[in-house]
Chain A
Amino acid sequence: MAETVQRLRGTFFTLNVNSLLNLAGGIAVLVAIIATLQRVFESGGTYFFQTLGFGLAQGAIFALVALGYTMVYGIIELINFAHGDVFTLGAFFSLAMMPLFGLNPSSSGAGVILPLLGLFVITMLFCALVNITIERVAYRPLRHAPRLAPLITAIGMSSLLEGVMFIWRGPFNLAYPDFLPEQQLSLGGGITIAAKAVFVIILALILMVGLTFFINRSKLGKAMRATAQDRDAAQLMGININRTISATFFIGAALAGAGGIIYGLYYNSVAAFDGFAYGLYAFTAAVFGGIGNVPGAALGGFMIGVIAAMSDGYFTVAWTRPLIFGILIFVLVFRPTGLLGMRVPEK
């Protein structure tokens, strides 16, 4: 009897707490949306679209980085904390390679397109090689160790990369050349968007569409999906697991490397520790969209980008970071599978 009462009380209590939390969460989101809308109407359309353009551009970069987090998580269930620093390394490396392609801070016009393309290729390749080396030395030997062990080596790898970049170029913000056109594109009705933002968004979208095609159509892409879904079964199909995992690190880092260049071109400044915070934003984006889910990471990236820009533009910059990580906690508590998170069918 006493037991039954206890159990009933238990059910009642948990029910109550859950619904209360849900209610509080719903109200918080509603208040935030109303407050934002109010300020949006106060400051007018031009400002809104500029903020939106900035948000989408920064979101595109988050998305490129988030894809690497989510792909690696999908296949070996590891948060590769070094990923954000591979992204910064892309910016640093491309900066150092510029003279090789005849690029200097005063270059401009259509003449930069070809060298820039070469810069992208070599940087993406470099970052990819760094990342598969990291996997080989820091994660693969720990594949059968408890999950915490590779997570700690991942944090160690992150510190190592930051240290290398710190020693290489010092703690300062490095100027990154500004090759992109500065003008505003008019969308009619007094609404304008920066050409720079459009460039960044389009470039990121091209890379993401390419990735999606690769994962869905190519044999290696299918092997990656199969390995992510069931590693033993994938091995029984004759898939070389180590090669597939390396390929995942390769592609994720190539996207991060491209993201690093785009970051440099967009913000015109980069520092050794930028990747830490940026990586955490991108990680939040990956969780927001559903960790392990590729379209989710892209969607999460754009959403976090826009939310951060709105917070910067309509509230205060100081609250943006707490807001973003508040979202991270919020998602982990209420919807751990994220926006597009998959419900795995029962076996």
Chain B
Amino acid sequence: MALLEISGIDVFYGRVQALHGESLEVDQGEVVALIGSNGAGKTTTLRTISGLHHPVRGTIKFDGKDITRSEPQNIVNLGICQSPEGRRLFTRMSVLDNLRMGAYTRRNQADIKKDMDRVFELFPRLKERLNQIAGTLSGGEQQMCAMGRALMAKPKLLMLDEPSLGLAPILVETIFQIVREINAQGTPVLLVEQNATKALEVAHRGYVLETGNIVHSGTGKELLSSKEVQTAYLGM
């Protein structure tokens, strides 16, 4: 049984159907990439897993529990955390307060401190900017802060929505390196990316989403070498 099991979900925005019977799985220890063009439903998928939308049909199971109708705060409590599209930091709070907000559901101060140190190891830059107001950070630093904030929840599954969007190429490298590192430390990652090549290089497996349907799936290598995926998403 996989850690996260999504089977056949239909999600609507009002009357517009955004996801058509989407199914995907994330297993322990994996990095899974979800790629596709703008409007394919990648962000909707993550928002639905987090409980910000509820599917009309289909089920979502996490760790064996049905979370299809759960509220966002309960889903965070179960151990799913995401760094959302556009980072969505609390722009008028300091970096430190943003990180603390990430640990909102946790009580054990000693554990929180330990994870704070782990975040500083991954992102030394955040430690230098600890008391700066988050809205005044550079784009790359904001992305680091958003990822650090998500890690502060000590997630059993980390979801990253477009972590490389709008970053300088050198920073994109760093961010993907850190995704590898987070995964190596034992956290499974569901990665939504427009930068399909980079995402598939990091990922163990990947899914290709097209107007709310999964059209391809396979290991990262398989998708990278697939003719169809290459022409449509990798620009080859």
Binding site for B on A (CB under 8 A): 219, 222-223, 225-226, 229-230, 232-241, 342, 344-347
> A232 and B88 in contact (CB under 8 A), knowing A219-B104, A222-B101?
yes
> What are 9 pairs between A and B in contact, CB < 8 Å?
A229-B91, A230-B89, A234-B101, A236-B81, A237-B102, A238-B76, A240-B71, A344-B91, A345-B133
B92 to chain A: which residues have CB within 8 Å? 225, 229, 342, 344-345
B153 beta carbon closer than 8 Å to chain A? yes
Interface residue SS majority, chain A: helix
> A223 and B90 in contact (CB under 8 A), knowing A237-B76, A345-B136?
no
B230 beta carbon closer than 8 Å to chain A? no
Q: How far is the CA of A46 from the CA of B105 in the complex (A)?
A: 56
Closest to B149 in A: A237
A346 to chain B: which residues have CB within 8 Å? 135
Please give the distance in Å from B108's CB to the nearest CB on chain A: 14
Closest to B81 in A: A236
Q: How far is the CA of A233 from the CA of B50 in the complex (A)?
A: 11
B101 to chain A: which residues have CB within 8 Å? 222, 226, 234, 237
Report yes or no: B104 in contact with A237, Cβ–Cβ below 8 A.
yes
A232 to chain B: which residues have CB within 8 Å? 52, 84, 88
B64 to chain A: which residues have CB within 8 Å? none
B186 beta carbon closer than 8 Å to chain A? no
> A344 and B81 in contact (CB under 8 A), knowing A226-B101, A229-B91, A238-B104?
no
Please give the distance in Å from A77's CB to the nearest CB on chain B: 16
> A235 and B73 in contact (CB under 8 A), knowing A229-B91, A344-B135?
yes
Binding site for A on B (CB under 8 A): 50-52, 71-73, 76-77, 81-82, 84, 86-93, 97, 100-102, 104-105, 133, 135-136, 149, 153
B88 to chain A: which residues have CB within 8 Å? 230, 232-233, 236, 347
Closest to A223 in B: B104
Contact among A226, A239, A342 for B93, CB-based, below 8 A: A226
Report yes or no: A238 in contact with B89, Cβ–Cβ below 8 A.
no
Q: How far is the CA of A294 from the CA of B206 in the complex (A)?
A: 47
Please give the distance in Å from B28's CB to the nearest CB on chain A: 22
Report yes or no: B105 in contact with A238, Cβ–Cβ below 8 A.
yes
- Between B73, B76, B77, B87, the greatest number of chain A beta carbons within 10 A of the residue's beta carbon is seen for B73
Please give the distance in Å from A303's CB to the nearest CB on chain B: 23
Please give the distance in Å from A240's CB to the nearest CB on chain B: 5
Report yes or no: B90 in contact with A233, Cβ–Cβ below 8 A.
yes
Report yes or no: B91 in contact with A238, Cβ–Cβ below 8 A.
no
> A237 and B153 in contact (CB under 8 A), knowing A222-B100, A223-B104, A345-B136?
yes
Q: How far is the CA of A234 from the CA of B72 in the complex (A)?
A: 10
Q: How far is the CA of A345 from the CA of B94 in the complex (A)?
A: 13
Report yes or no: B87 in contact with A225, Cβ–Cβ below 8 A.
no
Please give the distance in Å from B119's CB to the nearest CB on chain A: 15
Please give the distance in Å from A137's CB to the nearest CB on chain B: 21
Question: Contacts A230-B89, A230-B90, A235-B51 given; 7 further ones with Cβ under 8 A?
Answer: A226-B93, A233-B88, A235-B52, A236-B81, A236-B88, A238-B77, A347-B88
Contact among B76, B135, B149 for A345, CB-based, below 8 A: B135
Closest to A219 in B: B104
Q: How far is the CA of A332 from the CA of B71 in the complex (A)?
A: 38
Report yes or no: B73 in contact with A238, Cβ–Cβ below 8 A.
yes
Please give the distance in Å from A276's CB to the nearest CB on chain B: 33
Report yes or no: B91 in contact with A235, Cβ–Cβ below 8 A.
no
- Between B82, B87, B92, the greatest number of chain A beta carbons within 10 A of the residue's beta carbon is seen for B92
Report yes or no: A229 in contact with B90, Cβ–Cβ below 8 A.
yes
Contact among A229, A240, A347 for B73, CB-based, below 8 A: A240
B104 to chain A: which residues have CB within 8 Å? 219, 222-223, 226, 237-239
Report yes or no: B82 in contact with A347, Cβ–Cβ below 8 A.
no
Closest to B135 in A: A345
Please give the distance in Å from B137's CB to the nearest CB on chain A: 9
Please give the distance in Å from A247's CB to the nearest CB on chain B: 14
A234 to chain B: which residues have CB within 8 Å? 90, 101
Closest to B75 in A: A238
Q: How far is the CA of A223 from the CA of B103 in the complex (A)?
A: 12
Question: A-B pairs with the 4 shortest C-beta distances?
Answer: A345-B135, A238-B76, A238-B105, A233-B88
Q: How far is the CA of A239 from the CA of B100 in the complex (A)?
A: 12
Please give the distance in Å from B153's CB to the nearest CB on chain A: 7
- Between A222, A238, A239, A342, the greatest number of chain B beta carbons within 10 A of the residue's beta carbon is seen for A238
Please give the distance in Å from A282's CB to the nearest CB on chain B: 24
Please give the distance in Å from A296's CB to the nearest CB on chain B: 13
Please give the distance in Å from A184's CB to the nearest CB on chain B: 44
Report yes or no: B86 in contact with A236, Cβ–Cβ below 8 A.
no
Contact among B72, B89, B135 for A235, CB-based, below 8 A: B72
B84 to chain A: which residues have CB within 8 Å? 232-233, 236
Please give the distance in Å from A99's CB to the nearest CB on chain B: 44
Q: How far is the CA of A228 from the CA of B91 in the complex (A)?
A: 11
A345 to chain B: which residues have CB within 8 Å? 91-92, 133, 135-136
Contact among A219, A233, A241 for B89, CB-based, below 8 A: A233
Contact among B90, B136, B153 for A226, CB-based, below 8 A: B90
Closest to A240 in B: B73
